[in-house]
Each structure stands twice: as C-alpha cells, then as structure tokens.
Structure 1
Amino acid sequence: MKTVTKVVDGVIKTLMATSAFVLFLVTFLQVVFRFILKSPLAWSQDVIRLCFTYLVFLGAAWCVREKAHLNIDVVISCLKPKLRAALELVINIALCGFFIFLAYYGWKFAVTGKTQLAPYLPVPMFYYYLSVPISAVLMLYYMVPHIIGQVKNFGGAQEEGN
C-alpha cells in the first residue's frame, strides 16, 4: 500500500507542478501577446482554465493528504482529548460521505461535458469537469487510512483511560 501511495503522491505532485508551470507560462505569453504584440492568444483562455482547475482540485486532495484542510480549531481545541478525538473522527467520516457524493455527482456532471467543446480548443469539457471526481476519489483515498488510524488510536485511548 505504501508503494501505491508513493506512486499516487508522485503523480499528483508532478501534475500540480506541471499545471502550475503551464499556467504561469501561458499566462505570461498571453500578457506579452495581448499588451506588447497587440494580438491576444484566444486558445490560452482554455489552457489556463484547464490548468487552474486541475491545480485547485489536485491541491485540495493534497491538503487532505497533509491534513491541512479547513477546520475550526477554536472549537475543537476547547474539548477534552477523548471528546476531541471522537469529534474529529465524526467530522472525517462526514467528509468521506461528502467525497463519495462529490465523486458520484462529479462523474455524472463530467459525463454531460462529453458533447460540449471548450470555447477555443477542440477539447471536450469532459476533461475539465473530470477534475472534480478525480479529486474526490483522491481525497477519499487519503482520508480512509487516516480514519482507520484514528479508530485504532481511539480504541487504544479508550483502553488506556479505563
């Protein structure tokens, strides 16, 4: 499992770095062509949108991996350790439910884009929309082992407390 995770991590990091680089490069070229050469690159809008979409959604999955997703620490930090662990577990299980919802309906939404083309490039919008279910599956992939670890730790904390 660790080998698969290393491969998935490597693919995500590579895709995020590539998206960020292409995003920077095409945006820079668009500025040069629009303001200096007075001839904007119409296709750049589609490339920028695609790169930005994947960068954001893969970044969200990476945040789940790093446990850096948004939470409200003020409320959680005021609780006793056992109650805090239980609440974090419930929150993470609820997040898994949301990720499943997002993957399912994200896929249904992505399929609707098969017949639509991007405004300037002959690329189906399916590939843009596919970022949603892909990131949801990745977030679920990263969250499930975290929940398993929480359950193991919670069970151990319960035994130690008795």
Structure 2
Amino acid sequence: MRKLERIIVALNAWALIVMLSAMALVVGANVALRYLTAHSLPWADEAARYLMIWMTFGGAGLALRVGGHVAITNLHDVFPTPGQRLLRGAIVLALLGFFVFMVWVGWTYAQRMQYQVTPAMRLPFFYVYLAMPVGFGLLILHLLMIAKPFIMAGDYKGLKGDAAQGETLPGGANG
C-alpha cells in the first residue's frame, strides 16, 4: 500500500512539473516571438491560463498532504489529546464530505460546458472545467492517505518524512 501511495504522489508531482514546464515554455516562446518578430501566439495566454487552473487543482492535494493549507488551531489547542483527536476526525469527515460534493459539482459543471469551446484554441470547455472534479478527487485521495496519522497525532505524511526514508520527489524536491 505504501508503494502505491509513493507512486500516486510521484505521478501527481510529475504532472505538476510537466504542466509548469509547458506553461513556462509557452509564455517564454510567446514573449520571445513578440519581441523578435512583433507577432505573438494567439493561443498562448489561453493555454497558460488553463494550465494554471489545472496546476492549482492538481497541486491542492499535495499541499494538503504536507499541511500547506491555512489552518487555525486555537480551538484545537484548548482540548486535551482525546478531544483533539475527535476534532481532527470531525475535520477529516467534514473535508471528505466537502470534497465529494465538489467532485459532483465540478463534474456537473464540466458536463454543462462540454459544447462550448475556448475562443483561441477551440478546445471544449469540458476539459478546462474537468480540472475541478479531478483536483477534488486527488484531494480525496491525499486526504485518505494522511487521515490516520493526522487524526491520531496531528501529523501530516509530509514529504520530509518520505525523504527521511530515502525517497524523493521528482526533481529532488523533498518539501
């Protein structure tokens, strides 16, 4: 199971690296063309925008995994250890419910947008809006992978913990 988890995390990280690289190449090429030839790629801004949307939703699960989202711990710190565990369990259940709801909302919205196309690339908006259910699906996956250590000890299955066992993320990043 741990091997599957490492594979999922690595694939998620590599997908983000590929999207960021593609965005940098498209924007860089567009800037170079604009200054060298006085012409630009008509689809570059649109492609960069949609890649940014996909990176945002795709990276949210990795940020959740390492505790990178905003957290307010005032209430949590007031409770004794058993109360803290109950509160963290309630938080995980609430997040899970919200994420499932957002997968449904995102899928519904993506289906509604399937017949409209983007202005420059003529890509069906379905693929743009598909980032939402895919991203929230990844959030569910990452939440389930960190739920037990988070509920029991308030720990995240951070990337540093993985690196301590000789594992690294693509590109050598360890958190």
What is the percent sequence identity of the aligned residues? 22
Which amino acid in 2 is paired with 1:123? Answer: L
The residue number in structure 1 matching 2:162 is: none
Which amino acid in 2 is paired with 1:26? Answer: V
The residue number in structure 2 matching 1:129 is: 129
TM-score (norm 2): 0.78
TM-score (norm 1): 0.83
* Whole-Å separation in 1 of the counterparts to 2:43 and 2:56: 20
State the shift of 1:78 in Å. Answer: 3.9
The residue number in structure 2 matching 1:100 is: 100
Show structure 1 runs of 5+ residues with no match.
Answer: 155-162
How large is the RMSD of aligned CA atoms in angstroms? 2.1
The residue number in structure 1 matching 2:85 is: 85
The residue number in structure 2 matching 1:146 is: 146
State the shift of 1:35 in Å. Answer: 4.2
* Whole-Å separation in 2 of the counterparts to 1:82 and 1:130: 40
* Whole-Å separation in 2 of the counterparts to 1:21 and 1:145: 27
State the shift of 1:31 in Å. Answer: 2.1
State the shift of 1:71 in Å. Answer: 1.0
Is 78-87 or 96-105 further displaced after alignment? 78-87
Q: Deviations over 1:93-118 (max 9, x none)?
A: 11111100110110001112211111
* Whole-Å separation in 2 of the counterparts to 1:90 and 1:107: 26
Which amino acid in 2 is paired with 1:66? Answer: V
Say whether the 8 Å CA contact 2:57–2:132 is kept in structure 1: yes
The residue number in structure 2 matching 1:21 is: 21
**Number of residues of Structure 1 aligned to a counterpart in Structure 2:** 154
Which amino acid in 2 is paired with 1:85? Answer: R
Matches within 5 A, 1:33-44: 33-44=33-44
**Cα 1:56/1:150, change in 2 over 3 Å:** closer
Which amino acid in 2 is paired with 1:33? Answer: L
Which amino acid in 2 is paired with 1:140? Answer: I
Say whether the 8 Å CA contact 1:30–1:41 is kept in structure 2: yes
